[in-house]
A and B are shown apart, each in its own frame.
Chain A
Amino acid sequence: MNLVALVDDDSIFQFTATRLIQSAKLAGQILQFENGGSAMDYLKQHATDAGKLPDHLFLDINMPFIDGWMFLEDFVQLKSKLAKEIKIYMVSSSIDQRDMNRAKEYQDVREFVVKPVSMETFSRLLQVA
């Protein structure tokens, strides 16, 4: 089963997203991080353990301390050391075009997803994988 990570400081998004993914049985396990810093710490910790690394990572932009962009910069450094390829989706309530353009600059970002995220979107992204 898919291992999915949600990186977002918004506890309500964490709640709604977890419920949608679980109800559709799209993931075996869901890892929850309230900012980029704690997510990065986890990845570094389990870099060589493929079983612990997520297949999909939903990344919020606006977060305290380490935000989405900072996480991506750290991830670029870390990527080669990871035992598993992680598919990253930027998730934001922003409909600012500048944010979307900026996301495209990161090769690792598969898609820019605007909140709220529907069941269909989660199904498409997680099933295709």
Chain B
Amino acid sequence: MANNQPPRNANIIAQSKGIIFFSLDQSYRYTSFSPKHKTVMKQIWGADIAVGMNMLEILSEPDRTKAKQNFDKALNGETFMRIEEYGDTELARSFWEDHYEPILDANDNVVGVAVLVIDVSNRREFSQVLKESNARLALAIRAGNIGIWEWNIVTNEVVWSKEILDIFGLDESFTNLTFEKYLSSVHPQDLDLVNQDISTAIANRSQYNTEHRIISPSGDIRWIFATGQIITEDDRPVKMIGTAINITDRKTLESTRLESASLLQAALESTADGLLVVSNEGKITAFNQKFLSMYGFSEKEVAGQSDEDLLKKAMARIVDADSFRDKVNQLYANPTQESLDTIRLTTGIVLQRFSKPQVLNGKVVGRVWSFRDVTQQTEAQESLQKSEKLYRTITDNMIDMVSQVDSEGKILFASPSHFSVLGYKPEAMLGSSIFSQVHSEDLAFVKERFQHAVKQKSSEKVEFRYKRANGLYAWLSVNSNPILGPDGDIAWVILSSRDISERKKNEQALYHRDQMLSALADATSQLAIEPNIWIGLQNALEILGKSTQVDRVYIFQNFSQPDGEYCSLKIEWNSGTAAPQIQNPSLQNFPYSAAPSLYHRLVENKSFTKHVREIEDPDFKIAMMEQDIKSVIILPIQVQNRLWGFIGVDECQQEREITQAEYSILKSFALTVGASLERKQIESENKDWQTRYELVTRASGQIVYDYFLPSGRIIWSDNLLKEIGYTQSEVDDVNKWSELVHPDDRAEAFALLETAEKNLLEYNITYRFQTKNEGFQYMWDRGFFMANNQGKAYRMLGVMQNINSQKIAETELKESEQRFRTLQEASFGGIALHKKGRILDANKGLSAMTGYTMEELIGMNGLDLVADEFKSTVLNHIQSGYDQPYDIVGVRKDGTRYGIEVHGKNVPFRGETLRVTEFRDISERKEFEQKIVEQNKSLTIIADDLKKKNEQLEEFTQIVSHNLRSPVSNILSLLDFYDKATDDQEKANLLLMLRESGSKILTNLHELNEVLKIKQAKDIERQQLSFSEVLKSVLQQLSARVAETKAKIKTEFEIESIRYPNIYLESILMNLLSNALKYRHQDRTPEILVQTFEQNGNLFLKITDNGLGLDLKRYGNHIFKLRKTFHVHPESRGIGLFMIKNQIEAMGGEIQIESEPNIGTSFIVLLTKPQAA
């Protein structure tokens, strides 16, 4: 290892924020690096790096291979950028942008690589997260390094995400992936398995998950975890969507783990080392044969013994036994300590002993000792050291110059090597002063040291510049040794000198480079600290210019014009020796067309390093010469992978070759400037995003949150307080959040969250959330996860929105719409929902009522359903929002008119005022009413009829039980007597009574028959009759009685004629008149009034007498019954009223009686009702 570490500059390390930069030569040895890089290398690899160290030797696998690939790519002349992701222990994710740049010499030969690493975590996350939802998927894919493909089974086309290419080791130019090609990449040994899994998945319509190997085009074998899911249409597989993940690392790890166990076993014996394992308790737990042979122990002496005994035996065979024992005891006292020692045995064997703790599951359980026989190496090394010493002595002697001078410095003797080293012949030097060729800057100092040495009679060592014979200066290191004379004074001084030019040169280069690194760190931190990038750049240029001791440093920015590319000088630093150019108008809008050689290099992202006299383009050359430029270095500045402009450095006093270190510094500065400009651009973009995002959250009420899974911490957007009333600290972790979710929704909210987290899906849920002031509110919560590079969710970004009013409105709307729909369909009438007459919706009832189809009704003007003369009424009612029912006439599709009752109501519906109008067909209603009336009427008639029939049945029962049974029972009694009678006279008497009873039965039967005839003879023919004529005929039959009683009969016929059966009218008049005559009052002449009149269309007959009268309270029920007599009168048979009542009722009439005892009786007969007329 090289030990010439560069001098440390505390200032640099203190400022070492941000930039990581280093450059390597073709053998991966450091040629320069930034302090930050040194810190990082120390942190990660524990290495103290220095210029000249091979970087690859510090790294371990797999990073070493990866790094080497990248370095080699740059060493092949490629400039490129890589984005690397790292997940730290906190599961936080960081992104790093690695810029690789080949370092070219003046002839464009690659001599090294420059690497600039920039932490871009913030801007990468920001832009990836906020931009669009597609990015979320991309993020998930990227984070999980998952490739997605889709195989169209029908067309055999395969489309894939670009990750697939990486996973299968295909380059970007690869196109036309087919399933067969995929299968052809599968490792032959796994092909059957893959085929089987896929066929099973297709057959079962299921998902397959297969781990298999593939062989990439470059020949390496990779392990792939492949999944596929069949998509079917009509139960036919049409598509398969799948993912692929490169699990080679995991597989390797798995197999490594499996192998390590068996390897350990084998290693124990196969190693050339002697091994001894001792437990914490001091017991020997393992050893190998090699160990025994090294020490000359037998197996018995070692196996199962205590280490203490073994140690005693071993000490007898070791050269420096005491220090050996001390060392062993010290190690046992410090169980975790490791050591590497050399032990010499008395046998001459030299052992290298390595001791380390045996650790199992993080605990020290014992100590492992391994011994290696290094006898031969040691011997070889020792002999090498000896010979080297010898060699060194010889060479040292050869290159050293020896001279003898007096106390004034005059040369008395010079060794021959003066010629070979400095070019002076020794004899020519004699007599001259030792100081004559010393560099003027060093002379005073050299003289002073020389005189000091003479005075003190001491040895001195001085380093100074001394002019060679060729005029160039050499650095000499001179040792002066005074030689004293017998008097004790200085006799002369022996100087031994060595040419240390080479060493000095290196030292100076190191110093210079360190200065520049310091400057770079300063310049970079200027860019980082200064918010105004142009001021930052100005400061940075100054620092850079001073450190590189150039005359000008400047930056040009490109711009395009229709006729080509141009550039303009933006900022300049000037040392003061060269004229400033910032005001030079020719450096504004400078056309690249004047400098094609420059433009060509810049576009290829290469530097332009020239002495001005060598520039090919004449115009460019002249322009440079006008500015007194001798040498120039121009480096491209790229922003977002496009040429933004360039940084240039001018040398105006003399031509100068740029050192590699200077080039590296400039290169890295150019990269840093590009990165800064890029950061500025992105920052301002981010600011825009931030602004938009704030506007959106403020306007929409969306609460944005950022949830860190490992810690459970949640950060909310500032509108949290306004929206739900909580401060940040009240809901700053996931448990506090879950406490506020409604208990009924909590389980679902968590289950979904878990699933989304596990599968890195979008979280999308609505739940009720306890707000601070407004109780539970419906919240719509959407979030998505970001995964670290292990595919695990570590962070969630989401949006929560109060949708309570929407949710409630939604529910209410749904309910009211449902209600409306139900009402509509349940209604018998027609219902239309319309907007100012234009029908938006209607029910089937309206379709049935109007004759229009539903399709015709929707969109129709509702006024077209109304008869012309009512249209204005309806329109007025619609406009005024009239909400009472009213009747109008409607017109059906076929033109027919019908009465309708219309009942409209205004309803607010989704922000509009609509009107629901119900149509009721009143022609139907009227018909219906009519039908009911008719039915009621016929029911009444039927009921009346039934009542009458019932009464008549009662009467018949009475008639049968009394009027028929009575004489029969008499006959039975008489016959009984007759049987027992002995007297003929008596027998004759009994026979007479028997005959009387028999004839009574016959009479009764005859009368019954007559009544029955009346009841059955409803259809008896009606005739047009005159009351006067019928009365006249009746009075003729009664003429004897009338004459006998001297009765006065008067008539008042308001109605003269009637359609009625003649025999009935005669019967009615006959019975009533004869009754009136029969029951006349003894004290006065009978007066009988016969009247006809009409009341409400009813035709009445009334016969009033001044006879005996009846106590109606007593007899009212019985008057019109068969065989009922109320007067003790010889002619009273009780049949007449019963007969005429039946006749009257058969004709649909009624009979009533009004009477008062001793005053008279009136019979009022309703003969005909209007409809019967």
Contacts and interface: CB of A to CB of B under 8 A. Distances in A.
| Physical interaction between A and B | yes
A64 B1124 contact: yes
A69 to B, nearest CB: 9
Interface string B400-444: 000000000000000000000000000000000000000000000
A64 B1126 contact: yes
B300 to A, nearest CB: 136
B283 to A, nearest CB: 125
A107 B1132 CA distance: 32
A16 B973 contact: yes
A13 to B, nearest CB: 6
B363 interface: no
Contact of B965 (A70, A115, A117): A115
A64 B961 contact: no
Contacts of B69: none
B1128 A93 contact: no
Interface string B953-971: 0000110011101111110
A35 interface: yes
A89 to B, nearest CB: 15
A111 to B, nearest CB: 17
Contact of B972 (A15, A95, A116): A116
A16 B996 CA distance: 14
Given A16-B974, A64-B1134, A65-B1126, A96 B961 contact: yes
Contact of A62 (B966, B969, B974): B966
Given A64-B1134, A115-B966, A116-B973, A12 B1124 contact: no
Contact of A61 (B962, B967, B976, B1126): B962
A32 interface: no
Interface string B640-661: 0000000000000000000000
A65 B364 CA distance: 140
B1127 interface: yes
Interface in A52-80: 61-62, 64-65, 67, 70
A19 B1127 contact: no
B1123 interface: yes
Interface of B: 957-958, 961-963, 965-970, 972-974, 976-977, 993, 996-997, 1114, 1118, 1123-1128, 1132, 1134
A11 B523 CA distance: 159
A12 to B, nearest CB: 4
Contact of A15 (B967, B993, B1118, B1134): B993
B1123 A62 contact: yes
A99 B961 CA distance: 10
Count class of interface residues, chain A? 20 to 34
19 contacts: A13-B969, A35-B1128, A37-B1128, A61-B962, A62-B962, A64-B1132, A64-B1134, A65-B1127, A70-B1114, A93-B961, A93-B962, A93-B965, A94-B961, A95-B961, A96-B958, A115-B970, A116-B969, A116-B973, A117-B973
Given A19-B977, A116-B972, A94 B958 contact: yes
Contacts of A67: 1118
Contacts of A117: 973
A17 to B, nearest CB: 8
A26 B958 CA distance: 32
Contacts of B965: 93-95, 115
Given A10-B966, A92-B962, A99-B961, 15 more contacts: A12-B970, A13-B966, A13-B969, A15-B993, A16-B973, A35-B1128, A61-B962, A64-B1123, A65-B1127, A65-B1128, A67-B1118, A93-B965, A94-B958, A95-B965, A115-B965
A110 to B, nearest CB: 20
A93 B1127 contact: no
A116 B1128 contact: no
B734 to A, nearest CB: 92
A124 to B, nearest CB: 17
A12 B997 contact: yes
Given A15-B993, A16-B977, A94 B962 contact: yes
* Leading 4 A-B pairs by shortest Cβ distance: A64-B1125, A94-B961, A93-B965, A16-B973
A35 B997 CA distance: 19
Given A96-B957, A96-B961, A116-B969, A65 B974 contact: no
Nearest to B1127: A65
Contacts, number: 68
A51 to B, nearest CB: 28
A98 to B, nearest CB: 8
A115 B966 CA distance: 7
Interface of A: 10, 12-13, 15-16, 19, 35, 37, 61-62, 64-65, 67, 70, 92-96, 99, 115-117
Nearest to A17: B973
Contacts of A13: 966, 969-970, 973
B962 A64 contact: no
Contacts of A70: 1114
A20 to B, nearest CB: 8
Contacts of B993: 12, 15
A93 B1125 contact: no
Looking at A19, A70, A96, which has the most chain B CB atoms within 10 Å of its CB? A96
Nearest to B961: A94
A110 B629 CA distance: 163
Contacts of A96: 957-958, 961
A119 to B, nearest CB: 9
A41 to B, nearest CB: 11
B974 A12 contact: yes
A37 B1126 CA distance: 11
Contacts of A19: 977
Given A15-B993, A93-B965, A94-B965, A65 B970 contact: no
Contacts of A12: 967, 970, 973-974, 993, 996-997
A96 B962 CA distance: 9
A67 B972 CA distance: 24
A48 to B, nearest CB: 26
A80 to B, nearest CB: 21
B1132 to A, nearest CB: 6
A115 B963 CA distance: 12
A95 B1114 CA distance: 25
Nearest to A9: B1125
B1002 to A, nearest CB: 15
A12 B973 CA distance: 9
A64 to B, nearest CB: 4
Contacts of B1123: 62, 64
Contacts of A16: 970, 973-974, 976-977
A95 B966 CA distance: 11
A96 B953 CA distance: 12
Contacts of B962: 61-62, 92-94
A62 B955 CA distance: 13
B342 to A, nearest CB: 144
Most buried by A among B961, B967, B968, B972: B961
Nearest to A19: B977
B977 to A, nearest CB: 7
A70 B1111 CA distance: 12
Contacts of A15: 993
B474 to A, nearest CB: 165
Contacts of B970: 10, 12-13, 16, 115-116
A95 B977 CA distance: 24
Contacts of A37: 1128
Contacts of A92: 961-962
Nearest to B1134: A64
Contacts of B967: 12
Given A10-B970, A12-B993, A65 B1125 contact: yes
A115 B1126 contact: no
A112 to B, nearest CB: 13
A93 B962 CA distance: 6
Given A35-B1128, A65-B1127, A93 B1114 contact: no
- Which of A37, A96, A116 has its CB near the most chain B CB atoms (within 10 A)? A116
A15 B883 CA distance: 88
A103 B15 CA distance: 135
